Amino acid sequence: MSFLSLREDRYIVMERLYDRQSADVGLRGFGARRWVVLYLTAFFVMTVQATIGVQAQSLCINEIMVANVDLFVDPSYNYGGWVEVYNPTSDVLSLNNYFLRHTDAEGKVKQSKLTTGHGTVAPLGYAVLWFDHNSSDGYYGSYAGTQIPFKLDADGGLLELLDSKGHVVDAVCYPKCISRCSWMRQTDGDATFGWTSRATPGASNNASPI
């Protein structure tokens, strides 16, 4: 099955399984839907990661901080959530025409296209993408136009990085957030994720304990 068909089918499966669980065991309401969506999202991510892995020739999602309460000020002069992208290659890679797609704990999907304003990623380097407080929401300063125009879900979710053709380059499922902590790869580009209180936006994960 292709990445595209797998990705499209998961939403149909989410709804069908939710309906089946509701009928079979009496699950109702917001909590039931969230449980089913998160369960299936985690399964989907494990399937994708097992298939594509962290490839030596592609960008990857290296670190995620949802609850940046008071640690790192973003370009809009706020404490927004952020995602770090790592370049494991020996080439400079542009972020232009990539997409970030986010599925929240309820299964709602939002997507944003990256532009030349998001810059490039140096070989073995990092780029930090900031969320919320975009210029479209009001005036947050001259650099707020590069903010991703939605929030990461504090209850957990799925974050996907797609190339210009819509192919999944990397996908990370993150759990319910912990304030002032980031969900990071144990080492840059590694398959193992964990929580750390030593977030490193724009720098290596290798010295941070998880």
Look at the chain and count its residues.
Answer: 210
End-to-end CA distance of the chain: 34
In angstroms, the CA 37 to CA 15 distance is 8
Compute CA distances 86 → 19, 139, 141, 173, whole Å: 39, 30, 27, 17
Instruction: For residue 8, give every residue at least 6 positions away whose Cβ sits within 8 Å of its Cβ, in sequence order, or none.
Output: none
Q: Spell out the per-residue pLDDT of the chain, length 210, in tens.
A: 333 333 444 444 344 433 433 343 333 333 444 544 554 555 454 444 444 445 556 899 999 999 988 888 777 677 788 999 999 999 999 999 999 999 998 899 999 999 998 899 999 999 999 887 555 656 656 666 677 888 899 999 999 999 999 999 999 999 999 999 999 999 999 999 999 999 999 999 998 887
Q: How far apart are CA 151 and CA 166, in angstroms?
A: 21
- Sign of the CA dihedral running 33, 34, 36, 41: positive
The first and second tokens of residue 136, run together, are: 């479209």
The pLDDT score that the predictor gives to residue 28 is 38
| Composition of the chain by helix, strand, coil, percent to 5 | 25, 25, 50
**Cα dihedral 27→32→35→39 (10° resolution):** 60
Would you say the pTM of this structure is higher than 0.85?
A: no
